[in-house]
């Protein structure tokens, strides 16, 4: 089992994680994720806490997650939402969405989440047709899709919305010039957009496996 960046041991990250006590609910999500046969992957614990805080700080009530996997980040996002907040979570695999839903229910957030199963590109198209808008986005799905997901997130964003994306370092592949595969190229392009798109104010955190945080500027 590993959390993001877990294979590249960083003693500073280990020290910081050691400051925090065991989080029983998230431990349960990790166990359930590992046990259900899906990849044992979840956002770094420190970034999970940051997700909760960012949602709480922005007061977001409509949150969109692209890529649910076992529901670890879903719990973190839901923890930051106010009463009445709604999380829409896009997930390719029905079995992953089922597991995530179960974990969200166990964490007390079953009523707050709606899973939309299938290709996220189509789900995003559908959300656009529905006229849906969101105040917070978390992108953590297939890495090839990141540039497309960013563009769609900006389109579905309310002014001032926050966009967060996981794994922008791809465990070292992003900075390895020898790596030129589609996922690596897509994430490099995504990172350049995050940093340079005039519609965004942003920062990129290089800890763990890298996290991009952007605000969609008010026009």
With contact defined as beta carbons under 8 Å apart, do 43 and 166 qualify? yes
45 sits near ligand DHB (criterion: CB under 6 A) = no
167 is a contact residue toward ligand DHB (CB under 6 A): yes
Residues β-bridged to residue 66: 90, 139
In the complex, what is the shortest distance from the CB of residue 41 to Mg ion, in angstroms, rounded to a whole number?
A: 6
Stretch that binds ligand DHB, among 80-88, 112-120, 166-174, 192-200 (CB under 6 A): 166-174
Distance between CA atoms of residues 138 and 66, nearest Å: 6
Q: Candidates 13-21, 106-114, 163-171, 178-186 — which segment interacts with ligand DHB by CB under 6 A?
A: 163-171
Least distance CB 47 / Mg ion (angstroms): 9
d(CA 165, CA 148): 13
13 sits near ligand DHB (criterion: CB under 6 A) = no
Report the C-alpha gap between 211 and 187 in whole angstroms.
Answer: 12
> Using the rule CB under 6 A, which residue among 56, 62, 121, 171 binds ligand DHB?
171
Query: Which SS3 state, helix, strand or coil, does residue 214 take?
Result: strand
> Rounded distance, CA 177 to CA 84, Å?
46
| Footprint on this chain of ligand DHB (rule: CB under 6 A) | 4, 41, 140, 166-167, 171
């Amino acid at each position: 089992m590993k959390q993001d960046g877990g294979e590249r041991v960083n003693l500073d990250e280990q020290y910081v994680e050691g400051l925090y006590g065991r989080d029983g609910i998230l431990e349960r999500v990790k166990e359930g994720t590992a046990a259900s046969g899906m990849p044992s992957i979840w956002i770094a614990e420190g970034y999970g806490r940051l997700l909760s805080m960012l949602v709480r700080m922005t007061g977001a009530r409509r949150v969109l997650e692209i890529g649910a996997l076992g529901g670890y980040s879903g719990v973190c996002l839901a923890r930051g939402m106010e009463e009445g907040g709604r999380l829409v979570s896009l997930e390719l695999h029905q079995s992953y969405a089922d597991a995530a839903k179960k974990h969200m229910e166990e964490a007390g957030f079953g009523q707050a989440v709606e899973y939309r199963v299938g290709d996220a590109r189509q789900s995003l198209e559908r959300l656009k047709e529905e006229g849906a808008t969101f105040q917070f986005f978390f992108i953590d799905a297939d890495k090839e899709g990141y540039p497309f997901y960013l563009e769609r997130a900006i389109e579905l964003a309310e002014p001032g919305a926050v966009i967060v994306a996981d794994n922008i370092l791809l465990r070292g592949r992003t900075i390895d010039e020898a790596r030129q595969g589609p996922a690596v190229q897509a994430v490099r392009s995504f990172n350049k957009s995050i940093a340079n798109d005039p519609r965004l104010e942003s920062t990129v955190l290089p800890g763990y496996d890298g996290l991009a945080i952007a605000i969609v500027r008010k026009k």
